Amino acid sequence: MLFTKARVHIDDATREWIDEQWPWLVEKLNMGDLSEHLIIEPTDEFFPHKWEPSREAIENLFATVVEYAEVDPARVELGLLEPQDEMPAALIKQDDKYLLPLEISELGDPAVTIAILARKLALLRLTEAGLDMERDDLPLLMDLACVVMGLGIFNANAAVPQVPR
């Protein structure tokens, strides 16, 4: 059974939703021809800075992810927080900038940190594109936007828990 025809393991309704949202997202996010965009991978080629849970390392990582997400770095700022009882808002608008709060406890695994930042930046891009933030499918749309932006690998990997070997 190793050489069976590959197929996508999603139901028809999900496939139809993706087929409807994909071109709409590409247009809303002003992505143009996706064949000209990189698929960002968790490699040293894409993330050359040494990772450690330090302010300098997270700022380098943040700047890199902001660049890959095609967000103007002058419009975003990273806000490192101590763990909160309540989850902070994903984005906080401050004048003409957005603050992206990130709890220090979320800095352990760089791939997970990238997934969190990518999702927040996807939300920012969707917000700026005028998306209705009351949509029932907003979390799914944010994940799909990460894929459109080339950062979907991180969100997919972060959603799969580590399995002991």
Q: What is the tens place of the pLDDT at every residue in 137-155?
A: 888 999 999 998 999 999 8
pTM listed for this prediction: 0.85
| Domain encompassing residue 108 | 66-158
Q: What is the tens place of the pLDDT at every residue in 58-94?
A: 999 999 999 999 999 999 999 988 877 887 788 889 8
pLDDT, mean over the chain = 85
40: in domain: no
How far CA 18 is from CA of 111, 121, 132, 152, in Å, comes to: 24, 20, 18, 14
Nearest to 110 by CA among 37, 39, 164, 48: 48
| 97-103 β-sheet, strand order | 76-81, 97-103, 92-94
User: How many domains are there within the chain?
Assistant: 1
Give the DSSP H or E segment for 76: strand 76-81
28: in domain: no
Beta strands at 92-94 and 76-81: parallel, antiparallel or unpaired: unpaired
